[in-house]
A and B are shown apart, each in its own frame.
Chain A
Amino acid sequence: GENVEQHPSTLSVQEGDSAVIKCTYSDSASNYFPWYKQELGKRPQLIIDIRSNVGEKKDQRIAVTLNKTAKHFSLHITETQPEDSAVYFCAASREKFYFGSGTKLNVKP
């Protein structure tokens, strides 16, 4: 089956800096790669996603890049704000979803 690895497990940045979270996957047939943000005790919410026929996607301060050859994808958050502090999960999907173990992002004011 699919194996998704996510790094780092924790990330601390100063407000205004950029944050990058990286994921690798093992199944070359995976074709959909969403990123979710989860605040403490809350449900995960989709923040951005990318499909395998696209290399990069951007939505305001958030961007995702996908390298199908290397089987890795990354989340980039620019101009971070304290409200970006949360746990972020990547996932890879073909028939079903496989999630990374999460990155706890702390943005210091």
Chain B
Amino acid sequence: DGGITQSPKYLFRKEGQNVTLSCEQNLNHDAMYWYRQDPGQGLRLIYYSQIVNDFQKGDIAEGYSVSREKKESFPLTVTSAQKNPTAFYLCASSTGGSSYEQYFGPGTRLTVT
């Protein structure tokens, strides 16, 4: 299970607060991804990064922001502009971009009340 970690496992926040989810990998992967998973649904791409200091919006980027200052780290900030932030957030990394296996972190369950 090692290689890609997310913290914390559970996170609770009040509405109107920004919150940052951590994602770290020691697999030496170039590409990293953030997904959101809602109950009974598939994974939807929030942001992805193919290389350090570069990232692209996914399908549901509104209300989220990311940075990629180091190869190992790809933190996701859920801002107060995200209208429905309560969800399970999964980070993933990949060695060769979109044609290779993605390795997922254990996920962070965010609850905003």
Contact = CB atoms under 8 A, between A and B. Distances in A.
A binds B: yes
Interface of A: 1, 4, 6, 31-32, 34, 41-46, 49, 51, 89, 93-102
A99 B98 contact: no
Contact of B99 (A4, A93, A101): A93
Interface stretch (B19-27, B78-86, B104-112): B104-112
B98 A43 contact: no
Contacts of B102: 34, 46, 97
Contacts of B99: 31-32, 51, 93
A7 to B, nearest CB: 13
A41 B90 CA distance: 11
Given A6-B42, A97-B45, 13 more contacts: A4-B42, A32-B99, A34-B102, A41-B107, A43-B105, A43-B107, A44-B43, A46-B101, A89-B43, A96-B33, A96-B58, A96-B98, A102-B41
Interface of B: 33, 35, 40-45, 48, 56, 58-59, 90, 97-102, 104-107
Contact of A100 (B40, B42, B105): B42
Contacts of A95: 97-98
Contacts, number: 55
Given A43-B107, A44-B90, A34 B40 contact: no
Nearest to A52: B99
Contacts of B100: 32
A59 B45 CA distance: 28
A49 B104 contact: no
A46 B100 CA distance: 11
21 contacts: A32-B98, A43-B90, A43-B104, A43-B107, A44-B43, A44-B90, A44-B104, A45-B104, A51-B99, A89-B42, A89-B43, A93-B98, A93-B99, A96-B33, A96-B56, A96-B58, A97-B43, A99-B35, A99-B42, A100-B42, A101-B41
